[in-house]
Amino acid sequence: MYQKRGDPAGGSLQGWRQRLYTIIFESDTRAGRWFDQGLIVAILLSVAVVVADSVPALHQHWSGLFTSAEWAFTLLFTLEYLLRLACVPHPWRYATSFFGIVDLLALLPTYLALLLPEAHVLIDVRVLRLLRVFRVFKLTAYMTEYRGLALALHASRRKITVFISGVLMVVLVLGTLMYVIEGPTNGFTTIPTSVYWAITTMTTVGFGDITPKTDLGRFISSVMMLLGWGTLAVPTGIVTSEMAAQRQATQGLAAVPVTTRTCPECLSEGHLPEARFCMHCGAPLPPWAHDV
Amino acid sequence: MYQKRGDPAGGSLQGWRQRLYTIIFESDTRAGRWFDQGLIVAILLSVAVVVADSVPALHQHWSGLFTSAEWAFTLLFTLEYLLRLACVPHPWRYATSFFGIVDLLALLPTYLALLLPEAHVLIDVRVLRLLRVFRVFKLTAYMTEYRGLALALHASRRKITVFISGVLMVVLVLGTLMYVIEGPTNGFTTIPTSVYWAITTMTTVGFGDITPKTDLGRFISSVMMLLGWGTLAVPTGIVTSEMAAQRQATQGLAAVPVTTRTCPECLSEGHLPEARFCMHCGAPLPPWAHDV
Amino acid sequence: MYQKRGDPAGGSLQGWRQRLYTIIFESDTRAGRWFDQGLIVAILLSVAVVVADSVPALHQHWSGLFTSAEWAFTLLFTLEYLLRLACVPHPWRYATSFFGIVDLLALLPTYLALLLPEAHVLIDVRVLRLLRVFRVFKLTAYMTEYRGLALALHASRRKITVFISGVLMVVLVLGTLMYVIEGPTNGFTTIPTSVYWAITTMTTVGFGDITPKTDLGRFISSVMMLLGWGTLAVPTGIVTSEMAAQRQATQGLAAVPVTTRTCPECLSEGHLPEARFCMHCGAPLPPWAHDV
Amino acid sequence: MYQKRGDPAGGSLQGWRQRLYTIIFESDTRAGRWFDQGLIVAILLSVAVVVADSVPALHQHWSGLFTSAEWAFTLLFTLEYLLRLACVPHPWRYATSFFGIVDLLALLPTYLALLLPEAHVLIDVRVLRLLRVFRVFKLTAYMTEYRGLALALHASRRKITVFISGVLMVVLVLGTLMYVIEGPTNGFTTIPTSVYWAITTMTTVGFGDITPKTDLGRFISSVMMLLGWGTLAVPTGIVTSEMAAQRQATQGLAAVPVTTRTCPECLSEGHLPEARFCMHCGAPLPPWAHDV
């Protein structure tokens, strides 16, 4: 059981910024949960607008609505961005953190469009706004699962690097080989194109926009496919054995409740409910504000 | 060994409804098995009729036969539906249960066709009749295996949710990126279309109806494929390690014979042979009718 | 170590048939190995002839050679077939065994061509000759591995049956759904065709000869692909966990040398070197003829 | 801890050749690391040149630059090759070793182009230069991971052989069957072509350049896909269980630092830091030169 010192002490420490901080950066209180959920809805809606705007049929009818909605969301996110800066002890440190940069990039495109209205370039950058969605995980109980997957992938990163580099070499060799055998007449116009084809084949995607025509080419690609088939097994084997090992390792360990407490100094998350100091930078943590 | 109180006691309790109930809802007696097997054959035949009717060549020759067969099956299933209602203690509870609704929906389309004879709409709903086939499992020894699979999938549902949501985000970002790079001229007409393409590629399906034409687009999709390849490993890893864990967990446990006894109150299944009360709602179970 | 009673006793027991039997059915002696290896070469060559004959360029130049080679192999296999019948105690039992039927079917087509010379039909049946190649395994040290795979697949046959039946239902439902949504105009001409398309998609093959054109159709097929992706994991999980379990089970067990001894009564194989009686039918085995 | 005898003794033993040997063949000293890294960069650049030269747009503008760069790299690699020969005790043994042959083959094409300037043939052989890249691994800490993968694949080579041979048989039978059913009119022109199609389908690549048109053909290929789907699981199962087993086997074993020490006699690598003699041929190893 945790000794409750959250709510009483919480208010005493630098008043509204403290409360705002808890609402915007954490989500263990009702207000915080509401804020985050609202934010997610807003993000999804703004993405939906971008997507819908790309459909000609919808564009010509509702382009006006889309543009205004676009602006509404941009202003909303701008306000949120400023609030974040306002309630963080070290605004600059937040502005230069990963999510700080993402938040900024998510705003720029709309404003940029005022100076240079190339829709083309605009939409391109707009996509970054989607990265906001990753924040969703901050408030799900799925966080631990997410960590599990990330851990397994991280643990097997070296095996996978070796594997990928090997695949790249094979693909480059085979791609060039096919370029020589089939040649531009059969669609293998350049070595890059052939390598693209080789990757398409090895990964069993097989678009079919480029296909071997000569018998030799077909024989070699048959070997490639069987090769690719076998190789498909390797990453699976890596990740699977990694996960099995993890499962054993974590067996018997007690699961700890995940909080969304955020260190005001280094903005790191996932501190234990009873933690008094940040486990990464050692800075004192504000008391844990949560609903009883 | 189970104390045999089934057959003698069985008849004494509310006569023909009891017997009908045992035949229609359970399949441990010869009559019950016959009924269920006959039902499956009927379902498969009725489906076969729908399928065959869709083939123009067959349609123009045998449409008359198909329509009458269609009606025959519909009437048969209607009779069965009424009988089920008749022998269940709480007809309404059955009518509102999952299979009760499926049974009703499997009948409606043919009758609906009388009022509004749009074959098009008709066939659409007809498909639901196929769901009946799931009932087959009720009488197979494969039930335990089925449970095993379901359990493994259920246990890893959260990991998979995280995984799918991650994939969806990646697919959305990459789809939009390709929409910007390739543009409508190369078939990436709208963002939804591009996302559809991205999913086609990440899952290594690769229809080839839409393919990148520009070099940059091909480079990005090459990265996507390798990405998708690696990602293919994750769900496999999840399910596999889950199954391995399950296998260990169930090791040494004694296997219990699966019956098709159905609780008359909550219509739940899979009760043990010696069970006297429903393990879900605590209602007294009718004695187990089975062949010696 | 095994007590050597093979060679001395071997000859005494019904002379040449015994020796022939050892040569044709077993391969632990030099003669036996030579016979089997020669047979494999002959089979591969005869297959090569069929394949080469299908290439127009080669056909018009060498059709004469191919036909004669075809006949040479047929006569060779006929002779072998008669010899097998000659040295087996119960010819009829062999003729009705799996390999006996395959051997016969491998001969018929060429003779059939004399009566009704439809090359088309002919080639069709000819393919069965390939099944002979499976006999190759009889003499490889890979037999144990082969058993291992077979065992793993056999052990998980029920899980896989449940899985396949589930997939078939999903494919049927989704196929019909797509038939309704896309309709004949977009290539989904009949329900069987749509189901074929659904299978193509779920298995991530994605030929691209039939592709959804409508937005709804594309949405549904996107869901199908993600579904198929996840489902791909299940059979892998089944087989993998099965193999891992097997590995544990067989750990610490002593490996026994695999012989090709064949029971003259029930024609079963894989008896231990020191076995005196068939482990399947209990009939006395001829002594083990092998090279020291 | 290793007793440091490397640096002092190193110089005393046959002076500059010893030093050159350490630089070229090993990479535990700063010089050696620099040399290897520079070599990799050179290889990648030379490959990049070949690739870029294949793009028409780049070719017509920079063909002159590419040719000269081509020659520059060739001369550089020639010099390196001669240096290797110079500092190895047994030049011939190196020249006949795997990497010795690769090094030579990587040089020939450019010189060959002087005599017979068929660019076509030329590029074909040039590809072999890529094999040099494999040398990269020599200096990565990923070597152990690389070994791990190789080991797992090696351990399951027999299972995989059986599997591949089985697949080949199935593919041959089904390919011929489709050739008979679909025939040349539907694109299945020859049996080899049909087998190529069968492989395309079984491996779920599905180019779509050849697709079944008849209903029977579609039915059979549907079965093939489900078959191929199930089969995809087998190699994965093999490799995965192999890796899991390996992980267990190596658990608790102490990891040893991997050096790039190379035996001057048999050119084998991966000797321990404290090794005095080659573990493969027993020849005395030169002291380990490394930075403190």
From CA A68, how far away is CA A81, in angstroms rounded? 20
Taking an 8 Å cut-off on Cβ atoms, the answer to whether A177 and D124 are in contact is: yes
Q: Residue C124 pLDDT > 50, yes or no? A: no
Chain D: touching chains (3 or more CB pairs < 8 Å): A, B, C
Q: Residue D28 pLDDT > 80, yes or no? A: no
Residues D172-180 have a mean pLDDT of 82
From CA B137, how far away is CA C162, in angstroms rounded? 9
Q: What is the pLDDT of residues D116-167, one digit of tens each?
A: 655 444 454 455 555 555 544 544 455 566 666 677 777 777 777 777 777 8
Q: What is the pLDDT of residue B3?
A: 40
Taking an 8 Å cut-off on Cβ atoms, the answer to whether C211 and B206 are in contact is: no
Quick one: which of D51, D53, D83, D81 has its CA closest to D68? D53
SS3 annotation, chain B: CCCCCHHHHHHHCCHHHHHHHHHHHCCCCHHHHHHHHHHHHHHHHHHHHHHHHCCHHHHHHHHHHHHHHHHHHHHHHHHHHHHHHHHCCCHHHHHCCHHHHHHHHHHHHHHHHHHCCCHHHHHHHHHHHHHHHHHHHHHCCCHHHHHHHHHHHHHCHHHHHHHHHHHHHHHHHHHHHHHHHHCHHHCCCCHHHHHHHHHHHHCCCCCCCCCCCCHHHHHHHHHHHHHHHHHHHHHHHHHHHHHHHHHHHHCCCCCCCCCCCCCCCCCCCCCCCCCCECCCCCCECCCCCCCC
Q: What is the pLDDT of residue B138?
A: 47
Q: What is the pLDDT of residues C273-287, one digit of tens each?
A: 778 888 778 888 887
Q: Residue A253 pLDDT > 50, yes or no? A: yes
Inter-chain Cβ pairs, chain A and chain C, closer than 8 A: 9
Q: What is the pLDDT of residue B253?
A: 59
Q: What is the pLDDT of residue A119?
A: 47
Q: What is the pLDDT of residues A149-170, one digit of tens each?
A: 677 777 777 777 777 777 887 8
Residue-averaged pLDDT of chain A: 76
pLDDT band at D190 (very low <50, low <70, confident <90, very high): confident
Q: Residue A53 pLDDT > 60, yes or no? A: yes
Q: Is B216 on the interface with A (CB under 8 A)?
A: no
Residue-averaged pLDDT of chain C: 76
CA atoms in the 13 A half-sphere facing the CB of D185? 6
Name the residue in chain D with its Cα closest to that of C161.
D230
pLDDT band at B129 (very low <50, low <70, confident <90, very high): low
Which has more pLDDT, C9 or D109? D109
Residues C89-118 have a mean pLDDT of 76
pLDDT band at D3 (very low <50, low <70, confident <90, very high): very low
Chain B residues whose beta carbon lies within 8 Å of the beta carbon of residue A242: 237
Q: What is the pLDDT of residue A284?
A: 84
Which residues of chain A from 171 to 200 reach within 8 Å of chain C, CB to CB?
Answer: none
Q: Which of A204, A207, A236 sits opposite C204 (nearest CB)?
A: A204
Q: What is the pLDDT of residue A10?
A: 38
Q: What is the pLDDT of residues A181-199, one digit of tens each?
A: 888 888 888 888 999 999 9
Which has more pLDDT, B289 or D181? D181
Name the residue in chain B with its Cα closest to that of A199.
B222
Amino acid residing at A166: G
Taking an 8 Å cut-off on Cβ atoms, the answer to whether B145 and C165 are in contact is: no
Q: Residue C25 pLDDT > 60, yes or no? A: yes
Residues D163-180 have a mean pLDDT of 81
Q: Residue D5 pLDDT > 50, yes or no? A: no
Q: What is the pLDDT of residue C130?
A: 54
Residue-averaged pLDDT of chain B: 76
Q: Is A248 on the interface with C (CB under 8 A)?
A: no
Q: What is the pLDDT of residue A197?
A: 93
Q: What is the pLDDT of residue B20?
A: 85
Q: What is the pLDDT of residue C221?
A: 92
Q: Residue A136 pLDDT > 80, yes or no? A: no
Q: What is the pLDDT of residue D212?
A: 92
Q: Which of A204, A208, A236 sits opposite C208 (nearest CB)?
A: A208
Q: Report the phi/psi class of residue C175: left, alpha or beta, with left for phi > 0 and alpha for psi in -120 to 50.
A: alpha
Q: Residue D241 pLDDT > 90, yes or no? A: no
D149/chain C closest Cα distance in angstroms: 18
Q: What is the pLDDT of residue A196?
A: 92
Taking an 8 Å cut-off on Cβ atoms, the answer to whether C222 and B196 are in contact is: yes
Q: What is the pLDDT of residue D59?
A: 82
Residues C38-67 have a mean pLDDT of 83
Q: Find out whether B5 and B287 touch, Cβ atoms under 8 Å.
A: yes
**CB crowding D109-127: b at 16 or more within 10 Å, else e:** bbeebeeeeeeeebbbbbb
Q: Find out whether C221 and C197 touch, Cβ atoms under 8 Å.
A: no
Q: What is the pLDDT of residues B176-214, one digit of tens each?
A: 888 878 888 888 888 889 989 999 998 888 888 899 999
pLDDT band at C292 (very low <50, low <70, confident <90, very high): low
pLDDT band at A146 (very low <50, low <70, confident <90, very high): low
Residues B104-117 have a mean pLDDT of 72
Q: Residue D286 pLDDT > 90, yes or no? A: no
Chain C residues whose beta carbon lies within 8 Å of the beta carbon of residue B203: 204, 225-226, 228-229
Beta bridge partners of D284: D277
C147/chain B closest Cα distance in angstroms: 22
Q: Residue D248 pLDDT > 50, yes or no? A: yes
Q: What is the pLDDT of residues B29-38, one digit of tens each?
A: 788 778 877 8
A251/chain D closest Cα distance in angstroms: 16
Interface predicted TM-score (ipTM): 0.77
Q: What is the pLDDT of residues B215-230, one digit of tens each?
A: 899 999 998 898 887 7
DSSP state of C279: T
Instruction: State what percent of residues in chain B have pLDDT above 90.
Output: 6
Q: What is the pLDDT of residue C282?
A: 82
pLDDT band at C197 (very low <50, low <70, confident <90, very high): very high
Q: Residue A12 pLDDT > 70, yes or no? A: no
What pTM value is reported for the model?
Answer: 0.80
B160/chain A closest Cα distance in angstroms: 9
pLDDT band at B160 (very low <50, low <70, confident <90, very high): confident
D177/chain A closest Cα distance in angstroms: 18
Opening angle at CA D170, ends D168 and D175, nearest 5: 95
Instruction: Report the SS3 class of residue A231.
Output: helix
Q: Residue D262 pLDDT > 90, yes or no? A: no
A85: exposed, middle or buried (Cβ count in 10 Å: 0-12, 13-18, 19+): middle
Highest mean pLDDT among A196-200, B99-103, C160-164: A196-200
